[in-house]
Copies of this chain bind each other. A is one copy, B any other.
Amino acid sequence: MKRHQITIVDIAKELNLSKSTVSRALTGHPSVNAVTRQAVLDLAEKLDYQRNMLAISLVTRKTNTIGIIVPEFTSSYFPNITIGAQEVASKAGYNTVICQSNETYETEVANTKVMLANQVDGVLVSITKETKNFDHLKIFQRKGIPIVFFNRVCDEMDVPKVIVDDYDGAFRAVNHLIERGRKRIAHLSGPPSLKISEKRLNGYKAALRKNNIELDEDLVIPYDLNLDKVHIYVNHLLNLPHPPDAIFAINDPTAIEIIQVVKKRGLQVPEDIAVVGFSNDFASGLIHPSLTTVSQPVKEIGGTAAQLLIDQISRDVSEWKSIIRVLKTELIVRNSS
């Protein structure tokens, strides 16, 4: 059961040196004889010695680890963001611990505890659709651990955030539908608790307004992002006395689901009804018809967030900034509109 770990002491004994010298050699401290250093390094290599980061972190009070909390991993969106974040983090010498909150508030709270207990140097978070109370996240601030939000941000907290121009992206998407001659455009919106839902909805409204199309509240349906329910809303819309000729979806998974439902009903996309999504997930270019969508620079979102976080970490608490970085989206016109 007890496995012997090779420690500094072992190699100190072997080489007849003091622990401190070995430690210095290992950490690349300049004030150590080149020969001694090499001897230490060689022996360490030979013995498969690995520095115990737990011990190091305990004394340096720094783990060189950043935590990432994402709501889910089911679409390609969040995995890609974590890839971007990991790239930047690892270049800066940081490890990454990823937790999925699984879109539930409780899990998110549990995740924050894990992060805290593991003494992460900072956290990246994108909240769940349920999260309305932010106390568990404010703890980080109070403890002097920087936090950076991305995508699903928390309005109440004055910290760095990385988002995209949701309003503008939605505006252009809807404007595009109008340019294509659509008059009755529905919007399957996200939960109102999410800022992105609100902004995309506002973009939608603004595009209608600009084109002098009156907003029909019946065509706007907020939903909880549970894909299993999409068919209900789509069928409801399609059964309306005056059904829509286009649907703008809060995100790609929703849009893809909409297309499936529409097709199952025997209707044609885009002939009978056009569909536009948001995010340009991997599957969107492959589905039939391919999905018109608003692409987000996913990896860049992750990378930017990680960078902002690392900047915060190296700053003194008193100098924390709360930059909001807004990344550009791009309308990708494909065959669904």
Q: Which residues of A contact B (CB under 8 A)?
A: 1-3, 5, 48, 50-55, 57-58, 61, 63, 73-74, 76, 79-80, 82-83, 86, 95-98, 100, 113-114, 116-119, 139, 142-145, 256, 282-283, 286-289, 316-317
Q: How many copies does the complex hold?
A: 2
Question: Is the Cβ of A50 less than 8 Å from the Cβ of B317?
Answer: no
Question: Is the Cβ of B58 less than 8 Å from the Cβ of A58?
Answer: yes
Question: Is the Cβ of A100 less than 8 Å from the Cβ of B83?
Answer: yes
CA distance A252 to B161 in the complex (A): 36
Chain B residues near A61 (CB, 8 Å)?
2, 5
Question: Is the Cβ of A139 less than 8 Å from the Cβ of B48?
Answer: yes
Contact of A316 among B1, B79, B143, B282 (CB under 8 A): B1
Question: Is the Cβ of A54 less than 8 Å from the Cβ of B63?
Answer: yes
Question: Is the Cβ of A3 less than 8 Å from the Cβ of B54?
Answer: no
Question: Is the Cβ of B3 less than 8 Å from the Cβ of A143?
Answer: yes
CA distance A117 to B48 in the complex (A): 11
Q: Beyond the given A1-B317, A3-B143, A48-B143, please list 8 additional residue pairs across the A-B interface where CB-CB is below 8 A.
A: A3-B145, A51-B117, A52-B58, A53-B118, A54-B63, A83-B100, A96-B98, A98-B98
CA distance A172 to B153 in the complex (A): 48
Cβ contacts A to B, 27 pairs, < 8 Å:
A1-B316, A2-B61, A3-B143, A3-B145, A5-B61, A5-B143, A48-B143, A50-B113, A50-B116, A52-B119, A53-B118, A54-B54, A54-B57, A54-B58, A58-B58, A73-B79, A73-B80, A73-B82, A96-B97, A96-B98, A98-B98, A256-B286, A282-B283, A286-B286, A286-B287, A287-B287, A288-B289
